[in-house]
Structure 1
Amino acid sequence: MTKAETLFHEIADGIPDVKESKMFGALCMKAPNGKAGVMYWKEYMIFKLDARDETEAMKLKGAQVFTPMEGRPMNGWLQLSQEHITQWPELAKKAMNYVKTLEAKKQKRKNKYPYKSLIENIC
């Protein structure tokens, strides 16, 4: 485990109500509402920040909008290299506090009998 990955786990352990999970196959931190706010991806830390904090963080050298695939930027997600490792804990707290305020995704209700309505229409 790299120093940066170890730090990710330490940061997650230090933020109340945070659950470690996966997103795009990468480690992430999720709030109780199921929203991800921080991700550790390819030796970078990725943060979902509110507009004000994102504007401030974008001033850091090398900061950029997270783009997991070429031509597919994820607006609202900021990518920072290990050059700013000392700022990761503070930004992670800000990110998690922000995503806790977002509305939880509505869970899709699984149809217990997916073919029932189809059969009823036939009969």
Structure 2
Amino acid sequence: MMPKVSEAAIAEYDLVAAGLAAAGVVRGSMMGMPCLKIGRKMLAGMFGDAMTFKLPPEPRARALALPGAELFDPGMGRQMKEWVVIPLAESGVWPEYAEAALEYVAP
């Protein structure tokens, strides 16, 4: 079951999406959640009041040091090693990690 998303989280997600639109990033849905994609590759998504980002090792380590950040488990009881969940309280860094995710997955 997907966690509920607040209006504040949606507003921050919309800002991230708008900031990446010129790079060809589009909105979509994957794994039952709103996501951002480049081509067919997902780079970020909304999960409750948090955003998830697919990150390479160095940005991933920095992200995991943020308060409340953790490896993403979409509810199957298994963490996804390249994906980090960053809570709404740290939304000020969402654009930075969205850019890092875009660089990581872009063709």
2:52 aligned residue = 46
Runs of 4+ in 1 over 4 A off after TM superposition: none
- Report the TM-score, using the length of structure 1 for normalisation: 0.75
Q: More strand per residue: 1 or 2?
A: 2
Q: TM-score, normalised by structure 2?
A: 0.86
Structure 2 residues without counterparts, runs of 5 or longer: 1-5
Alignment map for 1:1-123 (pairs within 5 Å): 2-15=7-20, 16-32=23-39, 34-101=40-107
Question: Which piece of structure 1 moves more, 9-18 or 45-54?
Answer: 9-18
The root-mean-square deviation of aligned C-alpha atoms, in Å, is 1.3
In structure 2, C-alpha distance between the alignment counterparts of 1:30 and 1:64, rounded to whole Å: 21
User: C-alpha offsets along residues 68-87 of structure 1, whole Å, 9 cap, x if unaligned?
Assistant: 11522111000011110111
Secondary structure at 2:11 match in 1: helix
Larger radius of gyration: 1
SS at match of 2:89: helix
% identical aligned pairs: 30
Residues in 1 aligned to 2:13 and 2:89: alpha-carbon distance in whole angstroms: 15
Report how many aligned residue pairs link the two structures. Answer: 100
Question: Hey, which of these two has a bigger chunk of helix by percent?
Answer: 2
Q: Encode CA deviations 1:7-64: one digit per residue, 9 max, x unaligned.
A: 21221121111010001211100012x1101001111110100111101111111110
